[in-house]
Every structure is written in C-alpha cells, then in structure tokens.
Amino acid sequence: MKQFLLSALLFAFIFPASGYADPAESNEFDPTFTHVVYFWLKNPKSESDRAKFEAAVKQFMQDSKYAKTRFVGIAPKATRDVVDDSFTYSLILSFESAEAQEKYQTESAHVVFVEACKDLWEKVIVYDSVPLPKTGV
C-alpha cells in the first residue's frame, strides 16, 4: 500500500495537473529527499478555514529557501478501495539533501506557516522518503 502511495505521489510530482504550483517557483523534482504531508482540517467545510490554510501554505511555499518541488493539492473523490481520500490537503516537497530538509524544519517560512495554521488541523501525517540504494546491476 505504501509503495503504491509513493508511486502515485511521484507521478503527481512529474505530472502536476492539479494543485497549486506557481510557475515562478522551481518545481524541478529532486528525488534526494521527499517530504509528503497530509493534513486533516478540523472543519474541512469551513470556507474561512480553507482560505486561511491555502493563503498560508502558498506563502510558505513562496518563501521557503530549501524546498525544491512545491506542490499542494486536495483529495479527489476516490474511485478505488486502495485510494485514501480522507485528507483535506496534501503538501509534497523535495529537497536536495536530508540536511536541507532539517534546515527547512526551523526556517522562518515553515515556522510561520505552522504557527498560523496549527489550530486549523486535527491530524497531520508526514511521510519522508529517500531513493532506493543503487546496486551494482
């Protein structure tokens, strides 16, 4: 299940057909370190909560010094049992290194985003991943 989810997310990076991706931002996918965050808002039907979250996450993505790929999306209606559409938003970021991802955790843009929105969500799940090790094949 996790492998399928990761494959679907990588597809979303390569073909970002929906979601917020500002053309002025670098959206070059760097597979060195991938950070995928799912948010479940307390009041997902609240237009004001959604507007606040979306404005804050877009500002964060614009201001982050470390994130290379920057994508935020919403769950489409699931058409298969293996698809989880229970989340409100997904945030997909890639970094050039684990060290860059560590710096991102304490950078001002990230801290401001978390402080502005932490009261909006009831649940957050993070999946970090790195590439498969290279083999001698």
Q: Is 74 a residue whose pLDDT tops 70?
A: yes
Domain ranges of the chain: 54-76+95-131
Which residues lie closer than 8 Å to 15 by C-beta, 6 or more apart? none
Q: Is 61 a residue whose pLDDT tops 70?
A: yes
**Span 11-28, pLDDT tens digits:** 444 334 334 444 334 566
Q: How confident is the model at residue 103 (pLDDT cuts 50, 70, 90)?
A: very high
Query: Could you tell me the pTM of the whole model?
Result: 0.77
Indicate the burial class of 40 (C-beta count within 10 angstroms; 0-12, 13-18, 19 or more).
middle
